Amino acid sequence: MIDLHTHTIFSDGELLPFELIRRAHAAGYRAIAITDHVDASNIGHAIGGIVRAVSKIRGLVPMDIIAGAEITHAPPELIRELVKEARGLGAELVVVHGETITEPVAEGTNRAAIQAGADILAHPGLITTEDILLAKEKGVALEITSRKGHSLANGYIARAAVKFGVPIVINTDSHGPGDLITRDMASRILRAAGIEEGRIESVFETSSMLVDKALRRINA
């Protein structure tokens, strides 16, 4: 399993980074990104803590570990600035909290995230065709999620992504140990969202490519 959207005590998760990493490894994960919620108030503290933790443990656990961030509920006008700031602080992968149908995310967030060059647009809800095409142009991956509530739009996102050839990933948006899933469960969720069996491997390949891209940022 490659999971590029998880949370720790640096935002609203239950676990320290080391424990989340340990539990993910025990669950058979090949790679994980720690992407705690950030806005202008905590971006330095959260990313700084994640980067410190990841730099200490990287190489001591046989899996790829990525320091990231999820920009959350930011006004669309600030998203580009926050994506840039997150990268400058050491975030190797940037997720933006998309326009999920279960929360009052500001309209225009999806487009702002794509235009800002985020790596992943998380749970983008009823994303418009225009924004889907922009995501394809910019190479921004759309997320299929196992997270309760946010997953209600999985089918819509899957159909649109397949129709227009947009890269998709599957993540857990984990906030606690019970949220972690196996690769087999990820495959089941993708099938339930309407992804044909023959396309499932390409979803995992997209996640793998994002891991490689993040690792190249480390060595740049």
Q: What is the pLDDT of residues 194-209, one digit of tens each?
A: 999 999 999 999 999 9
Q: What is the pLDDT of residues 59-85, one digit of tens each?
A: 999 999 999 999 999 999 999 999 999
**Which residues neighbour 85 within 8 Å (Cβ) at sequence distance 6 or greater?**
43
Kindly state the average pLDDT of the residues 11-38: 98
**Which residues neighbour 198 within 8 Å (Cβ) at sequence distance 6 or greater?**
none
Is 61 in a helix, a strand, or coil? Answer: strand
pTM: 0.97
| Number of separate domains in the chain | 1
**Which residues neighbour 43 within 8 Å (Cβ) at sequence distance 6 or greater?**
69, 82, 85, 86, 89
Is 207 in a helix, a strand, or coil? Answer: helix
Q: Which domain holds residue 45?
A: 2-219
CATH of the domain at 31: 3.20.20.140
Does residue 141 contact residue 117 with C-beta atoms inside 8 Å?
A: no
Looking at 50-54, 104-108, 116-120, 214-218, which range is the least confident one? 214-218
Residue 219 has pLDDT above 90, yes or no: no
Q: What is the pLDDT of residues 118-130, one digit of tens each?
A: 999 999 999 999 9
